[in-house]
Amino acid sequence: MNILIVEDEDKVANAVRRGLEPEGYSVAVARTGEEGFFLVSNQNYDLLILDVMLPGRDGVEILTAVRKRDLTVPVLFLTSKDAVEDRVRGLDAGADDYLVKPFAFSELLARVRALTRRSHRTESVSSLKLADLEMDVTGHFVRRQDRELVLTAREFDLLEYLLRHQGRIVSREMLARDVWKENERHTPLDNVIDVHIARLRRKVDEPFQLKLLHTIRGVGFVLRADPS
């Protein structure tokens, strides 16, 4: 998978590249809009990560030019919170998704995964599994070591989401948006998420030796069998 990042901020560009490379992506970085446009027109990329604020031609202009050339490469663009207009302009210009700066890396990773997967759709899995934890999504049933776990509807949704992203860090933003369907993260919601995670941990992990649900301090949560 080839990804091109068009971003003038070196620190951000390098951090994103360093984060994406271990996930199996090969990443190229362009510092200006012109360079990015040149690269994307001459080479095949599976995803374009485009910053809106660029010196010279801005991200939306690049995107418009790219779409004019009938290039169908998926585009994820990065914008800042205070520019609602940019978001609308970007989506109008043909972007597939956007991310507001500052973003959590896990969030970026999730979007990148979703966008690069879009071409070869994932089949909807009805049964999820991690170590001795099993979930039957259609039957609304969770079991660990042959013992049934009784979960509330919200806990079930939360566990399903974590299972679908198993091994990967899930941020509070992702939970707020995808599990709670809230359009904005706020302090009360953070507390609610924390309580739900604590309750889920009590049911899923407490009675068992092997802990699956881990808190990554300052980042989010991860469901995995490997303790590190």
Partner 1 sequence: MISLHPKQVRTRLTFWYVLVLAGVLCIFVAGASIVLVWQMRSQIDRQVVQDLETVEGLFYFSGDGILHFNDDYHNHPESKAVQERLLEVLSPDGEILFKNDLLGSRTIGGAPFQGEGVAGYSQRSERMADGTRVILASRVHTMQDRPVLLRVAFSEEPIWTRLKQMLVIFFFAMPLALAAAAYGGYKMAGRVLDPISVMTERARQITSERLAERLPVENGDDELGRLAEVFNGMLARIEISFDQLRRFTSDASHELRTPLAAIRSVGEVGLQKKATEEEYRDMIGSMLEEVNRLTSLVESLLTLSRADAGQLKLQVSVFPVMELMRDAVNLLEVLIEEKKLTFTLTGDDALLVRGDRLFLRQAVINVIHNAVKFTPAGGAIAISVSRDGDSKAVLSVTDSGPGIPAEHSTMVFDRFYRADPARSGENKGSGLGLSIARWAVQANGGGIGFSNPPGGGCTFWIRLPLALEAPAH
Backbone angles phi, psi at 81, to 5 degrees: -60, -35
DSSP 139-198: TTEEEETTEE----HHHHHHHHHHHHTTTS-EEHHHHHHHTS--SS--HHHHHHHHHHHH
Nearest to 193 by CA among 166, 227, 170: 170
Write down the least CB distance from residue 17 to partner 1, Å: 19
Is 191 a binder of partner 1 (CB under 8 A)? yes
Report the residue number, 124 or 187, with the smaller CB distance to partner 1: 187
Indicate which single residue of 180, 201, 208, 214 sits in contact with partner 1 (rule: CB under 8 A): 180
Indicate which single residue of 88, 125, 210, 216 sits in contact with partner 1 (rule: CB under 8 A): 216
Is 35 a binder of partner 1 (CB under 8 A)? no
Write down the least CB distance from residue 183 to partner 1, Å: 8
Is 139 a binder of partner 1 (CB under 8 A)? no
Hey, what long-range contacts does 161-166 have (CB within 8 A, 24 or more apart)?
Answer: 162/213, 162/221, 162/222, 162/223, 163/128, 163/129, 163/130, 163/133, 163/135, 163/223, 164/125, 164/128, 165/110, 165/223, 166/128, 166/130, 166/223, 166/224
Report the residue number, 128 or 223, with the smaller CB distance to partner 1: 223
Contacts with partner 1 by CB under 8 A: the residue count is: 22
Report the residue number, 63 or 89, with the smaller CB distance to partner 1: 89
Is 181 a binder of partner 1 (CB under 8 A)? no
Site for partner 1 in 93-132 (CB under 8 A): 102
Given the rule CB under 8 A, which residues bind partner 1?
81-82, 102, 172, 180, 183-192, 195-196, 199, 216-219
